[in-house]
Amino acid sequence: MRRRALGRCPVCGEALDVTKLSCPRCETSIEGRFETCKFCQLSNEQKDFVEIFIKSRGNIKEVERELGVSYPTVRGRLDAIIQALGYPVEREREKEDEAQTAARRKVILDSLAKGEIPADEAIKLLKQR
Protein backbone atom coordinates (compact mmCIF):
# COMPACT_ATOMS: atom_id res chain seq x y z
CA MET A 1 0.00 0.00 0.00
CA ARG A 2 1.36 3.38 -1.01
CA ARG A 3 0.85 6.30 1.32
CA ARG A 4 0.45 9.96 0.40
CA ALA A 5 3.57 12.05 0.84
CA LEU A 6 3.39 14.84 3.36
CA GLY A 7 3.68 18.33 1.96
CA ARG A 8 4.07 20.16 5.27
CA CYS A 9 6.02 19.40 8.42
CA PRO A 10 3.72 17.88 11.07
CA VAL A 11 5.69 19.72 13.78
CA CYS A 12 6.00 23.32 12.54
CA GLY A 13 3.83 23.41 9.38
CA GLU A 14 6.68 24.51 7.06
CA ALA A 15 6.75 23.17 3.49
CA LEU A 16 8.82 19.99 3.26
CA ASP A 17 11.63 19.31 0.79
CA VAL A 18 11.87 15.91 -0.84
CA THR A 19 15.37 14.50 -0.28
CA LYS A 20 15.21 11.11 -1.99
CA LEU A 21 13.46 9.84 -5.11
CA SER A 22 13.42 6.19 -6.13
CA CYS A 23 12.11 4.18 -9.06
CA PRO A 24 9.94 1.22 -8.01
CA ARG A 25 10.78 -0.65 -11.23
CA CYS A 26 14.57 -0.49 -11.46
CA GLU A 27 15.26 0.67 -7.89
CA THR A 28 17.34 3.67 -9.02
CA SER A 29 17.61 6.26 -6.24
CA ILE A 30 18.37 9.97 -6.52
CA GLU A 31 19.22 12.03 -3.47
CA GLY A 32 19.23 15.81 -3.10
CA ARG A 33 16.85 18.60 -2.12
CA PHE A 34 13.80 18.89 -4.32
CA GLU A 35 10.84 21.23 -3.93
CA THR A 36 7.37 19.76 -3.87
CA CYS A 37 4.67 21.19 -6.09
CA LYS A 38 2.18 23.71 -4.69
CA PHE A 39 -0.57 21.07 -4.66
CA CYS A 40 1.60 18.70 -2.62
CA GLN A 41 1.59 21.26 0.17
CA LEU A 42 -2.20 21.20 0.50
CA SER A 43 -3.75 19.16 3.30
CA ASN A 44 -5.27 15.79 2.38
CA GLU A 45 -8.74 17.31 2.86
CA GLN A 46 -7.87 20.13 0.46
CA LYS A 47 -6.46 17.68 -2.11
CA ASP A 48 -9.66 15.63 -1.91
CA PHE A 49 -11.71 18.80 -2.43
CA VAL A 50 -9.62 19.77 -5.48
CA GLU A 51 -10.17 16.30 -6.94
CA ILE A 52 -13.95 16.56 -6.48
CA PHE A 53 -13.93 20.13 -7.84
CA ILE A 54 -12.05 19.07 -10.98
CA LYS A 55 -14.17 15.95 -11.43
CA SER A 56 -17.24 18.20 -11.23
CA ARG A 57 -15.66 20.54 -13.82
CA GLY A 58 -15.90 23.41 -11.36
CA ASN A 59 -19.67 23.10 -11.03
CA ILE A 60 -20.24 24.27 -7.46
CA LYS A 61 -23.77 22.78 -7.34
CA GLU A 62 -22.27 19.33 -8.07
CA VAL A 63 -19.57 19.86 -5.44
CA GLU A 64 -22.28 20.83 -2.93
CA ARG A 65 -24.21 17.65 -3.73
CA GLU A 66 -21.21 15.34 -3.57
CA LEU A 67 -19.89 16.74 -0.30
CA GLY A 68 -23.31 17.40 1.23
CA VAL A 69 -22.38 20.98 2.15
CA SER A 70 -23.75 24.44 1.41
CA TYR A 71 -22.63 26.94 -1.21
CA PRO A 72 -20.85 29.17 1.38
CA THR A 73 -18.95 26.13 2.66
CA VAL A 74 -17.80 25.20 -0.86
CA ARG A 75 -16.74 28.81 -1.52
CA GLY A 76 -14.93 28.97 1.82
CA ARG A 77 -13.00 25.77 1.11
CA LEU A 78 -12.18 26.93 -2.41
CA ASP A 79 -10.99 30.31 -1.11
CA ALA A 80 -8.80 28.57 1.50
CA ILE A 81 -7.19 26.46 -1.24
CA ILE A 82 -6.64 29.49 -3.48
CA GLN A 83 -4.96 31.22 -0.56
CA ALA A 84 -2.90 28.12 0.34
CA LEU A 85 -1.60 28.07 -3.24
CA GLY A 86 -0.38 31.64 -2.75
CA TYR A 87 -3.00 33.56 -4.73
CA PRO A 88 -5.13 36.42 -3.42
CA VAL A 89 -8.74 35.58 -2.69
CA GLU A 90 -11.31 37.74 -4.54
CA ARG A 91 -12.77 38.94 -1.25
CA GLU A 92 -9.35 40.27 -0.26
CA ARG A 93 -9.15 42.20 -3.53
CA GLU A 94 -12.64 43.60 -2.94
CA LYS A 95 -11.64 44.72 0.58
CA GLU A 96 -8.49 46.34 -0.81
CA ASP A 97 -10.55 48.12 -3.50
CA GLU A 98 -13.05 49.29 -0.88
CA ALA A 99 -10.23 50.58 1.33
CA GLN A 100 -8.67 52.46 -1.59
CA THR A 101 -12.05 53.94 -2.54
CA ALA A 102 -12.67 55.03 1.06
CA ALA A 103 -9.22 56.63 1.26
CA ARG A 104 -9.77 58.43 -2.06
CA ARG A 105 -13.17 59.72 -0.89
CA LYS A 106 -11.64 60.95 2.37
CA VAL A 107 -8.99 62.94 0.48
CA ILE A 108 -11.69 64.53 -1.70
CA LEU A 109 -13.91 65.39 1.27
CA ASP A 110 -10.95 66.77 3.25
CA SER A 111 -10.02 68.96 0.26
CA LEU A 112 -13.62 70.17 0.10
CA ALA A 113 -13.69 70.91 3.84
CA LYS A 114 -10.45 72.92 3.59
CA GLY A 115 -11.86 74.90 0.68
CA GLU A 116 -9.21 73.58 -1.71
CA ILE A 117 -11.85 72.45 -4.24
CA PRO A 118 -15.39 73.68 -4.94
CA ALA A 119 -18.42 71.50 -4.17
CA ASP A 120 -19.26 70.80 -7.82
CA GLU A 121 -15.74 69.48 -8.44
CA ALA A 122 -15.92 67.33 -5.28
CA ILE A 123 -19.22 65.83 -6.48
CA LYS A 124 -17.72 65.12 -9.90
CA LEU A 125 -14.66 63.45 -8.32
CA LEU A 126 -16.77 61.39 -5.92
CA LYS A 127 -18.87 60.04 -8.82
CA GLN A 128 -15.76 58.84 -10.66
CA ARG A 129 -14.48 55.33 -10.05
Query: Where is pLDDT greater, at 68 or 96?
Result: 68
CA distance linking residue 49 with residue 78, whole number of Å: 8
56-80 pLDDT tens trace: 999 999 999 999 999 889 999 999 9
Residue-range definition of the domain harbouring residue 19 = 1-41
For residue 7, name the pLDDT band (cuts at 50, 70, 90). Answer: confident
Q: Is the per-residue pLDDT at 9 higher than 90?
A: no
Residues 53, 63: one domain? yes
CA angle at 23 for the pair 18 and 26, rounded to the nearest 5°: 155
Number of domains in the chain: 3
Residues 48, 22: one domain? no
The pTM (predicted TM-score) of the whole model is 0.57
CA distance linking residue 82 with residue 75, whole number of Å: 10
CA 86 to chain centre: 6
